[in-house]
A and B are shown apart, each in its own frame.
Chain A
Amino acid sequence: MKQIMQGNEAIARGAWEAGVTVGCAYPGTPSSEIMAELSKYKEIYTEWSPNEKVAVEVAHGASLAGGRAIACMKHVGLNVAADPLMTIAYTGVKGGFVIVVADDPGQHSSQNEQDSRHWTRFGKVPMLEPADSEECKDFTRIAFEISERFDTPVLLRSETRVSHCDSLMELGERKESTIQKGLDQKETPKYVMVPMYSRVRRVAVEERITKLAAYAEAEFPYNSMEINDPSIGFISSGVSYLYTREVFLHYSFLKLGMVWPLPRNTIAEFFKKVKKVIVVEELDPFFETEIKAMGYKVWHGKDLIPAIGELSPGIVEQSLRKAVEGKNYKAPKIRIKPEDLPRRPPNLCAGCSHRPLFYALKKLGLYVFGDIGCYGLAVAPPLSAMHASTSMAASVGGAYGAGKVLGKDGLGKICAVLGDSTFLHGGIGPLMDAVYNKGYSTTLILDNGITAMTGQQEHPGTGYTIQSEPAAMIDYEQLARAVGVKHVKKVDPYKVEETIEVIREEVNRDDASVIITENSPCILLRRAKPLEKFRNPFYGIDTDKCRGCKVCLEINCPAISWQEGEGQTKDGHKRKGTGFINKDQCVGCEVCAQICKFEAITPGTR
């Protein structure tokens, strides 16, 4: 019986069916659901690791002990895990080892757009690329077989439109791996990568890729050729294949299930069978470059198809209709120009503890080195309280480094801001650096007790494991003191004035400091009962007092809007409108009431 499953759920299912024993991940859109789903299977040990590098290392250890292991991450996560990956490519595996990397073309929820296919050639390890949920499951399963048979980690590349698409699939049974569990000291030369051993393994890596190429050619079942109308043949993979097939159904296709190594003879055969070849791929011209390097003439590829952003059936048609069928692409009728409509960017939730915190930073006029998390939304006007943000936990080193240039002139002007999960991911190293090398930066850890943006995942600071079992919990204050930070303060961000004063003092201090927020759980984290601390269920505008100064709009609360209309306060101040609080959305956090200069925001009762 067929079921509907999301791609990520299907990858987890494939791993379970393949007899996986250990799964590790750091959450990241669009990959997060894989480990969450895998944690539901009782036979498997799963964890949220502090970061992707740790996830890969733990999974590799599990593999060396003979267990099948999987590590999952988003595209930028593999940058973090690249160090172990590039050498695990040398050591190989014992139990099958699969690394899932999920790209985000179009940057729906990412800081950059990377084509992870480059890792496969760079790391000299094979990569599979499924197109839908059925393939997610089947490719994951076969990836473990490839891993054990060829003694290699295997990359499985997904992306937003595979991971977050639901499609039909059949379920299979779990089959345990036949690899014996246990560690063997005699295998040292294979697993200790000091030069005298790794030079030997370097040769083995090249031999392996040759064998894998032969396998891709003769045995791998998912490089498939469909010869229909031979006048044009498309070479494609993953979801790009599905888009192309949808639009140009009757032509010929070579769908590559394995990104690398490429099946050279199959490609040669395809060129013989079709007249002209078009390569359709999302992001970089990976196949196109390789195929051209083999000496073939690619009729069209990135000359017509965009290399930026995600593809879609519409974009494939628009790019190729003229070339394929000689007819011009006819764009659908524009009834409303979307650019004329007000945009609806994502926003911090009503009641979110990040809102008053960033309001405080704005009031202090600080240059904010920000980071990756929901709080990245504080960059949007009118809060506009973030000025740099690159990779996970980069804020800490960034603020410290800037201080090294500005010297005393930078005092009182800079801070680093990052969330609890992001801090644990990579913030401890740069914090150490700031102390050790005599920096003066202030690092604000916004502790909302969860990895929030990716959908509420646990981490070493939450006190729970992925299975919701109670666990050891990081004490941020103790941690900061242990690396040598002398000045550690806690603030309740919902107390706006006090928060401003504490931050003012610390950013002016000529020594490294840390400020940790408390009483600030994610507003969506039910177990923390985030609404209970608010004294009133909601607030309203007292129109007798509101002068229409718009200060309450500065915090960009989704519950507050502007209502135009000339009028005056009870004591005769003329105004052009008033604030308005939607009580369906207000949760009573009181931040607007604190910043209102005219006491015009007052508690309401249900």
Chain B
Amino acid sequence: MEENGKVTNIFLSGVGGQGTILASNILGGVFLKAGYDVKKSEVHGMAQRGGDVTTHFRFGKKVYSPLIKYGDADFLISFELLEAARYINWVKPEGRIIINKQEILPPAVSLGQMGYPKDVEKIFKKYFKDNVWIVNGQEIARKLGNIQAANVVLVGAFSNFFPEIKEEQWTDAIKTFLAAKLHELNIKAFHEGRKTFEE
């Protein structure tokens, strides 16, 4: 789908512990194998203690910057609704968005000082119309037996944007980055995620 020389920008956001880094590692494995230059950037350390986490993922023929330019994301993959809203301005007008339908309350909401934004889905649909996919990743993962796999459900949904990349390339990458005992669960999670676009 890429024109020659064009770099594709994927912005991932979530809450520390949701597996943003694993998801971006899988993307790395897939697009490297597909022959692209790849760069990704994330912040470690203190920010991970339940704070919001983001990963900038870029691939193309030649990638210079490890960071996406503000407003230039082709895709937003978000593992939590509020963390999707926080980065909405990073997405290009024609950008595409996948959001995990999950709410994790930040302290100000837990303490009753602020409300959790209720209309995130609506705002995304207002600006991005049909380019918004809300995936019930947590519920799908829960049914598979482990809510931790919600990240891979979203990777599965995202894989639909790249029909030229074979399914095995995705599942091979999943196997590379996960312990053997987690392969079956996560490959199922990937397939369930991939199927969400059929509906």
Contacts and interface: CB of A to CB of B under 8 A. Distances in A.
Contact of B44 (A335, A348, A455, A556): A455
Contacts of B67: 161, 243, 312-313
A186 interface: no
Given A242-B66, A335-B123, A346-B48, A562 B32 contact: no
A90 to B, nearest CB: 34
B44 A313 contact: no
Interface in B86-124: 86, 88-90, 93, 105-112, 114, 116-117, 123
A564 B106 contact: no
Q: For the complex, would chain B's binding face be called helix, strand, loop or mixed by DSSP majority?
A: mixed
A213 B72 CA distance: 41
Interface residues of A, number: 62
Contacts of B45: 29-30, 108-109, 453-455
B107 A247 contact: no
Contacts of B40: 165-167
A382 B112 CA distance: 12
B10 interface: no
A141 to B, nearest CB: 21
B194 interface: no
A246 B44 contact: no
Interface string A356-386: 0000000000000000001011001010000
A487 to B, nearest CB: 33
Given A4-B28, A168-B37, A342-B114, A347 B44 contact: no
B71 interface: yes
B43 to A, nearest CB: 5
B78 to A, nearest CB: 13
B44 A312 contact: no
B187 interface: no
Contact of B51 (A242, A317, A331, A344): A344
Nearest to A453: B46
Contacts of A333: 71, 89, 93
Contacts of A550: 112
B68 interface: yes
B15 interface: yes
Contact of A242 (B52, B65, B93, B108): B65
Contacts of B107: 342, 344-345, 347, 380, 556, 558
B182 interface: no
Interface string A1-41: 01110000000000000000000000001101100000000
B82 A313 contact: no
B16 interface: yes
Given A334-B89, A343-B106, A349-B50, A243 B65 contact: yes
Interface in B27-65: 28-29, 32, 37-52, 63-65
A318 to B, nearest CB: 8
A30 B44 CA distance: 7
Contacts, number: 174
A142 interface: no
Interface string A99-115: 00000000011000000
Contacts of B32: 2-4, 168
B44 A109 contact: yes
Given A344-B15, A349-B49, A564-B112, A313 B68 contact: yes
Nearest to A338: B86
A346 B46 contact: yes
B192 interface: no
A522 to B, nearest CB: 11
A223 interface: no
Contacts of B161: none
A335 B127 contact: yes
For A32, A166, A453, A560, which residue has the most chain B Cβ atoms within 10 angstroms?
Answer: A166
B70 interface: yes
B39 A346 contact: no
B74 interface: no
A228 to B, nearest CB: 14
A111 to B, nearest CB: 10
A166 B69 contact: no
Contacts of B52: 344
Nearest to A377: B49
A314 interface: yes
A38 B88 CA distance: 39
Interface in A573-605: 577, 584
3 tightest A-B CB contacts, nearest first: A332-B71, A29-B45, A109-B45
24 contacts: A4-B32, A29-B46, A33-B44, A108-B47, A164-B44, A166-B41, A167-B37, A247-B69, A249-B64, A312-B70, A313-B67, A332-B71, A333-B71, A333-B93, A335-B123, A336-B85, A342-B82, A342-B109, A343-B108, A346-B49, A347-B107, A553-B112, A556-B107, A558-B50
